[in-house]
Amino acid sequence: MASVTFEHLTKTYPNGFISVNDVSLYIEDGEFVVFHGPSGCGKSTILRMIGGLEDITSGRIYLGKDLLNDILPRDRRLAMAFQNYMLYKHFNVYDNMALGLRLRDLPRTVIDSRIKSAAGFLGITDILGKKLKAISDAQRQKVALGRAIVCQPKVLLVDEDFARQDEDRRREMIEDILRINEELGITVLYVTNNYEETLSLHKRVVYMKDGRVISSAAFQREYNSEN
């Protein structure tokens, strides 16, 4: 199961600022859920806590029946797509996508099969042998997504800055992520503060404000009542 459950999730920084305030939420296996709200409302902090990039002050996060609080970040069946692609410029595309699998000591045939499958899915088969400096930033974004899905994660976490604000690239990225969700069955948690984009996705929206969940359904009605 790739459901995600938050139980009274809270994040308080040393200066006393409460970024996430007692959030309880259930996300179903295979769902695509959009976290929307103004900057500083806690939505990106939640993604970072799921991925293990931020400590949890209190509360619990479950992936299926597994308590993530007790699992090291590298051992969580998650993939993260944040603004920094974390690609290695001295590697070619194939080796960038293979790195995580090699660190897990998977057989070469398995690695090759997964990379070629992901590259075909994302339309980047023709650049597998190219170095990072020889491909476009849009292609690098696809490589980052490919590296994520070859690890066969249960959940994909996508932050709003992943597309770096280029509208054409952002639209293409969203199309890829929707396909990853719908065709590969990977649960997706997507963070954005773009209202029009949120509506265009036609997915369940968790609207956040001041660290709390204001609504997780009927987005437009709730949004309008807040504004």
What's the CATH code of the domain at 26?
A: 3.40.50.300
- Strand pairing category for 78-81 and 32-36: unpaired
Note whether 7 and 62 are within 8 A (CB): yes
Q: Are residues 36 and 14 in the same domain?
A: yes
Count of domains observed in the chain: 2
Q: Are residues 56 and 24 in the same domain?
A: yes
175 in a structural domain: no
Judge if pTM exceeds 0.85: yes
Q: What is the pLDDT of residues 159-179, one digit of tens each?
A: 877 656 678 888 888 999 999
Token pair belonging to 158: 């996508």
Q: What is the phi/psi pair of residue 199, to 5°?
A: -65, -35
Phi first, then psi: what are they for 96, rounded to 5°? -65, -45
- Give the residue carrying structure tokens 């308080």: 12
55 and 87 in one domain? no
Domain that includes residue 26, residue range:
1-77+154-166+184-227
The two tokens of residue 32 are 């695509």
- pLDDT tens for 85-134 read 678 888 999 999 999 899 889 999 999 999 999 999 999 999 999 999 89
Q: Looking up tokens 């996300």, which residue turns up? A: 27
